[in-house]
Amino acid sequence: MQIYLPIAEVSVNAFLLFGIGGLVGILSGMFGVGGGFLITPLLFFAGIPPVVAVATSANQIVASSISGVIAHFQRKTVDLKMGIVLLIGGLVGAALGVQVFAALERIGQVDLLVRLCYVVFLGIIGAMMLIESIRAIRASKRSGGAPAPRRQRGWVHALPFKMRFRSSGLYISAIPPLLVGLAVGILSAVMGVGGGFIMVPAMIYLLGMPTKVVVGTSLFQIIFVTAFTTLMHAITSQSVDMVLALMLILGGVIGAQFGARIGVKLKAEYLRVLLASLVLMVSGKIALELVLRPAELFGLS
């Protein structure tokens, strides 16, 4: 069944859009990511213009994140205090990112920037996560199944403005969470992502948060940053397609509930391997298109 998208100005199969939303919703509930790292490239592949894909995907991220975070609140695996600190940085970053996005759109370079950002950031983060996760699995097997001890980052603990995050069992400076939130906010606006693919590993390896509260806390922050990003894109570039957003939201809300149930049944190390593999596959697909079809993608012919 074909459905016409008025802002994107293309016709797309409605079941395809519903399926994309559902798949990303499952990933959101499993990994604590908004799913934008996957949904935005999938929309590219479905023929949606990158400007519309970036601005609209944030709507689905909000919906699937709300659905997922409700499940994590019920399990008491959300660190609200940490989430609020991350959120403060995220809102500032999103405001900056939207301005950068609008400036690039005016000069006609936004499509190239978005795709290059996906290749670079997803490639680096995916490789780092995969290597670290494989090491953690090997260490766990050598120690007879006991989790490997988390390495403490001395410079993080030496910074001023310390706060106690009881749900995470941490007493660290508020500066690193603010900076993580800032970076995620910028990427959310420029790439149409929730930023969980960066925030989740940063929360585990940089901030030292226990994995059990990382997923829910990440989703909590993503909800508000992506909602703010959507509003800013709607005001500055009028590129949010609500018909497309509705189809993605319907699939995402349902998928997130299944994802949250699947996530609690799998070991954290294996979850991170799965997430890293997905990130690398998406990065490789976009890089391949940039190499094979540069003229078609960027109007060089």
- Contact of 65 with 215, CB cutoff 8 Å: no
pTM above 0.85, yes or no: no
| pLDDT (0 to 100) of residue 155 | 63
Tell whether the torsion through CA atoms of 161, 165, 170 and 175 is positive or negative.
negative
Phi, psi values for residue 239, rounded to 5°: -115, 15
Q: Where are the domains of the chain?
A: 2-298
Tell me the pLDDT of the chain (301 aa) as tens digits: 788 887 777 888 888 888 888 877 777 666 656 566 677 777 877 888 877 877 777 666 776 677 778 877 887 888 888 889 888 998 998 888 888 877 877 777 667 777 787 788 778 877 877 887 788 778 777 765 555 445 455 566 667 788 888 878 888 888 888 998 898 888 777 776 666 667 777 887 778 888 778 878 888 888 888 788 777 777 776 777 778 878 887 877 777 777 767 766 766 667 677 777 877 887 787 788 777 765 555 554 4
- Classify the phi-psi angles of 47: left when phi > 0, otherwise alpha if psi is within -120 to 50, otherwise beta: left
| pLDDT (0 to 100) of residue 293 | 61
| pLDDT (0 to 100) of residue 157 | 63
| pLDDT (0 to 100) of residue 218 | 84
| pLDDT (0 to 100) of residue 243 | 83
Report how far residue 92's alpha carbon sits from residue 70's, in angstroms, rounded to the nearest whole number: 25
